Structure 1
Amino acid sequence: MEKKDWIILQTVHEEKNITKAADRLFMSQPTLTYRLQQIEKEYDIKLLYRGRRGVEFTEQGEFLVKYADKMLTQLRDMEEALWNLGDNVRGTLRLSVARAIALYQLPKILRLFSQQHPQVDFNINTGLNLDLIQSIYKQDSHIGIVRGDHHWPYEKEIISEENICIISNSEIDIKDLPTMRRICYNTDPALNMVIDNWWKDNYSTPPLVTMNVDNMEIAKRMATNDLGYSIVPSIILEEHDKLFKMNLTNHNGENIKWTTWILYRKEFLTLSMVKEFVDFITDYFDENKCNLST
């Protein structure tokens, strides 16, 4: 078996569908089917069965998929170690990044980093914080950038803190919020908890939610068009936005902050691209603290 065969097995197992796996691998379906048949012929086994709901791997097929996973991981580790022996910073940096950071800040960060280290490629995974942390813990990613306070037993650093704020198309009185239309959005449960706790500390009735949208960027656009107010981290506010903004505060009058962390495992710092990126991103946020906390 060759590397491409390991990738084929891994992809078909993940997709559970020959057509989808072929599309993902940029192969024709007959070519993919032929490669699977050749693997079966080489080892004299039956890899999988096709059914109405997709493909199902045999016990021997499952064993071979696990072997393929191990071999691809070992090959990846070997390549990273080999590239690390040279003078140049190179390789594929695997990042697990909170969606808001990936949308509003990561493109600029990667552009600036790439200018210094053009031989580094990137594999970006986004999602909910708990999924990202699991990816870093399993070493599927070199570095994680997550938001909120989470348990992490290895190296972590705060790289930014931002305010959580109420936004609306026009000025509002905070006392009127319970009777005003609120726009909610899908986000990490940890952020929802912070906002819900603030609400309970200040009001005795639930908010008047009249709209639920997929993400905070859509919520901002709805608020811009005077369809209600929303409560969001300040990361989504850009210079061209013409919105009324009011920071959430606690009983002491202090702004309630939403924290961004960088997470990693110390052993990955032996890879030059990982160490360079950790140093770069901490310096970047240090230099831009004033802009990020508004």
Structure 2
Amino acid sequence: MDKKDWLILQTVYAEKNITKAAELLYISQPTLTYRLQQIEKEFDIKLFYRGRRGVDFTEQGELLVKYAKDMLKQQQEMEELLWNSGNEVRGTLRLSVSRTFAFYRLPQILKAFNEKFPKVEFHVNTGVNIDVVQSIYKQEAHIGIVRGDHSWPSKKITITEENITILSSEEIDLTDLPSKRRISYKTDPTLEMVIDNWWKEHFSTPPISNMNVDNVEIAKRMVLNGLGYCIAPSIVLEKNDKLHKIFLSDTTGSPIIWKTRILYREELMELAMVREFVHFLQEYHCHYFENESLN
């Protein structure tokens, strides 16, 4: 067995379907079937049984899939160490990123980093913050970019701090907010709790929620069209947005801040691509906010 066989086993196991696996691997179905038969002959086992809903792996087949997964991970780690042992920065940087940060900031960051280090490739997964934290714990990603406060035992660096903001298409008075229509959106439970606590500290009645949409970008579009207000971190604000803003503050008058952090394991700083990306993120956002303040 070699790397191609490990990938074949992992893909067939994940898809539970020979046709789909062949498509993902860019090989013909007969070629994939033949290679699977050769693996069975090599180990004198039955990998799986075909059923109406796809393939069901045997106990021996699952053991071989686990071996394949371990071998692919070991090879990846070896390649990373070899590529990062010299002066050249190269390899595949695995990132797990909060969806909101990925939407508003990540494309520009990756473009700028790739211009500086063209031999670095990216493998990016986006999701809610809890998914990002779990992927770092499972060592599925080198670096996680999360928003809000999350428990993490290793390195954690704040790269941005934002205001949480009431956004509306026209100027509104804060005292009138309970009578206005609010557009809610699915977001991190921690952010929801921060917003809910602020509301309870300032108002005795719940908000009038007339819309509940999938994400903050849809909510912002609704606000731009005068359909209500929303409460969101200031990352969603873009230069051409004609929105009125009220920054939330606590009972002492201090602004309520929402932070973006990078999470990683300290030992990964031995990899040049990880080390350079962490430093790049810190410098990038320093320059970004300097330019924002000038504008």
Q: Which residue pairs with 2:222 in the alignment?
A: 222
Give the Cα separation in 2 of the matches to 1:281 and 1:203.
Answer: 39
Structural mapping, 1:90-239, within 5 Å? 90-239=90-239
* SS of residue paired to 1:261: strand
Q: TM-score, normalised by structure 2?
A: 0.95
Q: Percent identity?
A: 63
Give the Cα separation in 2 of the matches to 1:205 and 1:29.
Answer: 62
Q: Which residue pairs with 2:66 in the alignment?
A: 66
Q: Deviations over 1:207-244 (max 9, x none)?
A: 11111111111110011111111111110110011111
Give the Cα separation in 2 of the matches to 1:188 and 1:52.
Answer: 39
The RMSD of aligned alpha carbons is 1.6
Q: Deviations over 1:143-182 (max 9, x none)?
A: 1111000100001111110011111111112222222211
Give the Cα separation in 2 of the matches to 1:37 and 1:199.
Answer: 63
Give the Cα separation in 1 of the matches to 2:207 and 2:54.
Answer: 45
> Aligned partner of 1:269: which letter?
M
Give 1:99 shift: 1.0
Give the Cα separation in 1 of the matches to 2:189 and 2:52.
Answer: 36
Give 1:31 shift: 2.9
Give 1:197 shift: 1.2
Give the Cα separation in 2 of the matches to 1:267 and 1:182.
Answer: 46
Give the Cα separation in 2 of the matches to 1:139 and 1:273.
Answer: 16
User: Does 2:82 align with 1:77?
Assistant: no
Q: Which residue pairs with 1:281 in the alignment?
A: 281
Give the Cα separation in 1 of the matches to 2:161 and 2:125.
Answer: 22
Give the Cα separation in 1 of the matches to 2:166 and 2:37.
Answer: 59
Q: TM-score, normalised by structure 1?
A: 0.95
Give the Cα separation in 1 of the matches to 2:116 and 2:140.
Answer: 25
Residues paired across the two proteins, number? 293
Q: Which residue pairs with 1:267 in the alignment?
A: 267
> Aligned partner of 2:64: which letter?
L
User: Does 2:10 align with 1:10?
Assistant: yes
Unaligned runs of 5+ residues in structure 1 are none
More moved, 19-28 vs 105-114: 19-28
Give the Cα separation in 2 of the matches to 1:214 and 1:19.
Answer: 33
Structure 1 residue ranges, 4+ long, deviating more than 6 angstroms after superposition: none
Give the Cα separation in 1 of the matches to 2:30 and 2:211.
Answer: 47
Give the Cα separation in 1 of the matches to 2:22 and 2:186.
Answer: 32
